[in-house]
């Protein structure tokens, strides 16, 4: 397949440019499933970064993450999702990763970056986007300083409360509507029905702020709005590999239907049979988020149908390390988690249990209890990583 050959070429070039003896950025392992690399800072501090690939690369973006809690690194990894999913995506991501880390750590770029620049199109547009973000950040900071001075001069409590409310509204305008041109570009990739959902959510958020009945946090709400927008724009979503629906228009409660699994898997055959018997052609997941997202993972459970195998626990909880605090990274995207769950169900040989008794039906309480027990066991004994040949 052309995509497999392309990934092999990108991995080969990456290893040749950033070997284990590179003074700044090193690739320590590169397979068709995972890339492991290391960035070395100005004081010789080391940051290990991982990148996972799916079978549908480059249509499905690689997932970048790190075990480091460094907020700068998390921000850099999150910025990689801004790169357009076109040819040589991995090489473009590596270039952005190395360049951003070198800038933030105030160190010289590796000499091999010039070779990478020759292999790839100009990064001018990306640099302009980053520059615009920095300018916005500077304006925001100046705006906050002015607000602080105003509050010191204005001692009346009512005026301070009004100023705080204005700050909240300004925050949403700056975060969600950075510029007309950016918004228009995003809108072209989203169909009318899903765009209406985004507009309704923004309207609800402003209404809740005015009423003083805000739920969740600004940080989590902003990130979840971005995640939902990215889902609506993604190729996997448009190709009906999965679909999402917010429960009661809540950004913190998602219903996800997995519509596509490996055609050669027993689960695929079971889904065809399920459609014939019950008229349903999907696996329904529930994904809920807390107000400290993305620094804590979402809770994910299967609602329907009842499954055996596939690392699905009693109640419908899913046994995956990345869904625990130990294995989670704030750089993970919601879509990457959805696609990883779909792949895990297949690799775990999940089967639909037709005619399951009521005692076997899934529930939130049972799922939470079984997941809690799972976490306690693995915190004590660690996680088992199967060999590559086992998936």
Q: What residues contact 157, with CB distance under 8 A and at least 6 apart?
A: none
CA distance 377 to 371: 10
Backbone angles phi, psi at 200, to 5 degrees: -65, -40
By annotation, the residues acting in catalysis are 319
Tokens of 6: 């392309």
Helix/strand/coil for 251: coil
DSSP E strands in 199-297: the ranges are 242-246, 253-258, 283-288
Give the up-direction half-sphere exposure of residue 372: CA atoms within 13 A in the CB hemisphere.
Answer: 6
Q: What residues contact 383, with CB distance under 8 A and at least 6 apart?
A: 321, 326, 327
CA distance 355 to 306: 9
CA distance 38 to 27: 6
- Cis check for the bond before 58: say yes or no (omega within 30 of 0): yes
Residue identified by tokens 């005692």 is 359
Number of Cβ within 10 Å of residue 121's Cβ equals: 12
Helix/strand/coil for 99: helix
Nearest to 89 by CA among 62, 124, 112: 62
Contact present, 138 and 114 (Cβ < 8 Å):
no
- Cis check for the bond before 294: say yes or no (omega within 30 of 0): yes
Determine if residue 14 is left, alpha or beta; phi over 0 gives left, psi from -120 to 50 gives alpha, anything else beta. alpha
DSSP E strands in 313-375: the ranges are 351-352
CA distance 89 to 95: 10
Q: What residues contact 131, with CB distance under 8 A and at least 6 apart?
A: none
**What's 42's DSSP letter?**
T
């Amino acid at each position: 397949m052309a995509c497999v050959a392309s990934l092999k070429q990108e991995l080969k070039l990456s290893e040749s440019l950033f070997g284990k003896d590179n003074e700044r950025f090193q690739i320590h392992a590169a397979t068709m499933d995972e890339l492991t690399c290391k960035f070395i800072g100005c004081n010789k501090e080391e940051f290990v970064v991982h990148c996972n690939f799916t079978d549908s690369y480059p249509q499905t973006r690689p997932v970048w993450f790190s075990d480091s809690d460094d907020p700068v690194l998390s921000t850099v990894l999150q910025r990689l999702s801004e790169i357009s999913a076109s040819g040589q995506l991995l090489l473009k991501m590596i270039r952005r990763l190395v360049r951003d880390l070198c800038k933030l750590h105030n160190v010289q770029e590796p000499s091999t970056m010039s070779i990478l620049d020759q292999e790839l199109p100009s990064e001018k547009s990306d640099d302009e986007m980053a520059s615009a973000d920095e300018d916005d950040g500077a304006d925001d900071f100046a705006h906050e300083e002015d607000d602080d001075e105003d509050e010191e001069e204005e001692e009346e409590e009512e005026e301070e409360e009004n100023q705080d409310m204005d700050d909240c509204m300004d925050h949403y305008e700056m975060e969600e509507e950075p510029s007309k041109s950016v918004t228009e570009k995003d809108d072209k990739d989203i169909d009318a029905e899903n765009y209406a959902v985004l507009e309704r959510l923004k309207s609800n958020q402003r209404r809740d702020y005015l009423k003083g009945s805000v739920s969740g946090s600004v940080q989590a709400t902003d990130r979840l709005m971005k995640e939902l927008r990215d889902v609506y724009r993604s190729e996997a979503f448009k190709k009906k590999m999965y679909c999402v629906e917010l429960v009661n228009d809540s950004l913190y409660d998602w219903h996800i239907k997995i519509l596509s699994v490996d055609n050669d898997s027993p689960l695929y055959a079971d889904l065809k049979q399920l459609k014939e018997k019950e008229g349903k052609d999907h696996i329904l997941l529930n994904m809920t988020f807390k107000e400290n997202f993305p620094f804590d993972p979402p809770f994910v459970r299967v609602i329907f149908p009842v499954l055996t195998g596939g690392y699905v626990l009693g109640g419908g909880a899913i046994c995956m390390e990345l869904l625990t605090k130990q294995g989670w990274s704030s750089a993970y995207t919601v879509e990457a988690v959805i696609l990883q769950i779909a792949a895990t169900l297949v690799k775990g040989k999940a089967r639909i249990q037709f005619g399951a008794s009521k005692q076997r039906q899934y529930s939130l309480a049972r799922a939470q209890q079984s997941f809690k027990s799972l976490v306690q066991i693995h915190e004590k004994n660690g996680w088992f990583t199967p060999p590559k040949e086992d998936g």
